[in-house]
Amino acid sequence: MRRHHLLLVLGCAALLAAGPLALPPFYVRVGQMMLYSAALGVAWTILGGFAGYASFGHAAFIGVGAFAAGLIEVQFATLPPFLALLMGLLTGGAVCAILAAAIAYPILRLRGTFFAIAMLGVSHVCAELNNNVDALQGSLGLNFPPVAPDSVAPEAFFYELYLFAGLAVLLIAWRIRQSRFGAGLLSIREDEDTARMLGVPTERYKRAAFIISAILTGMLGVIYAHSLGYITTDSVYRDDTNLNLVVFSLLGGMGTLFGPVIGAGLLVFITQVILGRLLDFHLFATGLLLVILVLAAPGGALGFIRGWRRRRVQVPAE
């Protein structure tokens, strides 16, 4: 991340942090969804964008993290709110890490469409287990204790929490992208077989990216569950979330660091503000946006901007 990029990120973060002071509650909640979606998109892109393993089932980690946190927090109901949230985050992240490590070997042997569909199957299997295993309480639902301080409005508290979590996920993804590990993931995306022949430990790198992405997604799911206050299987294992995570990167720029942030902001603004009263129109709008994007800007918003800038600086041939 160049110096001016870092300054831009910090400036935007400072500006966003003041949002709850100036915005009405509805737009604060829209801001929550934008920040949550952006963080999820960046967590997804560690695997789907950097390594090229596009997952259609990351909602599995949102649900597993949320329910793991809820079940453990019920056992320690007397803890102070901050410690309860911290315990939930650690538990949700740990359980998602275990799940990802358990399925990594068989599922990462698949590629392309086969991997994407297999991950969608994992999401559905986890949802069915939640619904049908009584101990997991998916059909009854789970209540989460309030964690916002009495002096702060809940919507403002979760807005700031999502902002902090989003910055943390962005920093982790940036460090990965700049590291040798990140270079290895990019080589896997471009040509996995050639990368393996050149000595890149492809299997280890893929597993590590899968587990990191799962942990971050699960912890974001814990925050999301707390912001809802009450969850059921249907509220966290959502197929539209699986689709949106892919669309965020496609809208902003697949494989880029800031692409999912831009894509999440665009899609949430369109669906929640512009089409807010047409709830049944959301999936159609998502599909329509995707078709338009593929036709007009295959590289996403960032690819379109970079192409436009190159054309502007190109010197005409004499």
Q: Which residues are CB-contacts of 74 (< 8 A; sequence separation ≥ 6)?
A: 142
Q: How far apart are CA 279 and CA 8, in angstroms?
A: 34
For the whole model, what pTM was predicted?
0.90
Residues 115 and 55 sit within 8 Å (Cβ to Cβ): yes
Residues 61 and 218 sit within 8 Å (Cβ to Cβ): yes
- Structure confidence by residue, pLDDT tens digits, 221-233: 999 999 999 999 9
- Structure confidence by residue, pLDDT tens digits, 122-155: 999 999 999 998 888 888 889 998 888 888 889 9
User: According to the model, what pLDDT value does residue 307 have?
Assistant: 66
Q: Give the residue-averaged pLDDT of 21-44.
A: 92
- Structure confidence by residue, pLDDT tens digits, 254-280: 888 888 999 899 888 888 887 766 666
